[in-house]
């Protein structure tokens, strides 16, 4: 990493806490006192994502927007290999959406309040009755017209390769009855690998696939839908990010 790139990456890292605080504060003011619109308030986190990408020198391109209708509700589901996935999608995806986040994040002062008021969807990742209740509440919110994004792997890939999908995203899509859209995050593992703090400049490509209808799936079909979604996401990834089993088959 060159001295200039190192400086940019360091500034980017240092800027995250104050920028997040400022964006949350402005979003809350806008939501409570000014425009009072969840949709319009998304301009603040979008600004947050773009600033972090631009300072680090991360160039984002989106392919496949023609596959989706901005007026319809979807569950977007993609691979997850970097914190830069969040910066890139938040900053450059042009349509209205919310994040699905673990419920613990909603307990963080200011940040959690801003998430809740902005319409973000809380999920209980534990097991048992509370988790099922959380899943049903999220499905109801999505069915009512809130598009969301989720990472079915459940955690970041250590090397950028696509990991197996958990069935939670598939079950959520089935219960909400909305189409699930596969997304391939390409290159984010290079600009900001897992366990690294400093981002590198580079190109990131988000590829959006065609929606998968879920209306004919039942909860018992969650494994089938998860497998199909995994295969569709794999088709949207560069060769170096293909699952290990697929790479070994060639």
Domain count within the chain: 1
Full pLDDT tens readout for the chain, 250 residues: 789 999 999 999 999 999 999 999 999 999 999 988 888 899 999 999 999 999 999 999 999 999 999 999 999 999 999 999 999 999 999 999 999 888 888 999 999 999 999 989 888 777 667 778 888 888 999 999 999 999 999 889 999 999 999 998 999 999 999 999 999 999 999 999 998 999 999 999 999 999 999 999 999 999 999 999 999 999 999 999 999 764 444 3
β-bridge mates for residue 78, sequence order: 183
Q: What is the CATH number of the domain that holds 133?
A: 3.40.1130
Give dist(CA 117, CA 128) in Å, integer: 27
**Which pLDDT value is given to residue 156?**
93
pLDDT value, residue 128: 67
Instruction: Give the Cα separation of 225 and 238 in Å (integer).
Output: 22
Side-chain-facing half-sphere of 207: CA atoms under 13 Å: 12
Burial environment of residue 43 by CB neighbours within 10 A (0 to 12, 13 to 18, 19 or more): middle
Residues 6+ away with beta carbon under 8 Å from 49? 86, 87, 88, 89, 90, 91, 92
What is the per-residue pLDDT for 122?
85
Range of the domain at 219: 3-248
Report the pLDDT value the prediction gives residue 86, as an integer from 0 to 100: 96
Element (H, E) at 181: strand 180-186
> What integer pLDDT is reported at residue 127 of this predicted model?
66
């Amino acid at each position: 990493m060159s001295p200039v790139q190192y400086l940019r990456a360091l500034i980017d890292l240092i800027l995250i806490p104050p920028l997040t605080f400022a964006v949350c504060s402005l979003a809350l003011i806008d939501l409570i006192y000014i425009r009072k619109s969840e949709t319009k308030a998304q301009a603040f986190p979008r600004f947050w994502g773009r600033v972090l990408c631009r300072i680090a020198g991360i160039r984002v391109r989106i392919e496949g927007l023609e596959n989706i209708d901005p007026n319809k509700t979807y569950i977007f589901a993609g691979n997850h290999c970097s914190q830069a996935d969040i910066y890139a999608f938040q900053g450059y995806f042009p349509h209205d959406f919310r994040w699905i986040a673990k419920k613990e994040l909603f307990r963080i002062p200011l940040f959690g309040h801003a998430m809740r008021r902005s319409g973000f969807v809380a999920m209980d990742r534990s097991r048992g009755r509370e988790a099922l209740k959380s899943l049903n509440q999220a499905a109801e919110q999505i069915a009512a017209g809130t598009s969301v994004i989720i990472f079915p792997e459940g955690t970041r890939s250590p090397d950028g390769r696509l990991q197996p999908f958990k069935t939670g995203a598939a079950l959520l899509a089935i219960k909400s009855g909305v189409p699930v859209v596969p997304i391939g995050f390409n290159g984010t593992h290079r600009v900001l690998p897992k366990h690294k703090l400093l981002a590198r400049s580079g190109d990131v490509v988000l590829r959006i696939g065609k929606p998968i209808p879920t209306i004919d799936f039942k909860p018992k079909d969650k494994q089938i839908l998860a497998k199909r979604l995994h295969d569709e996401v794999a088709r949207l990834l560069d060769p170096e990010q293909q699952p290990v089993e697929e790479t070994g088959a060639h």
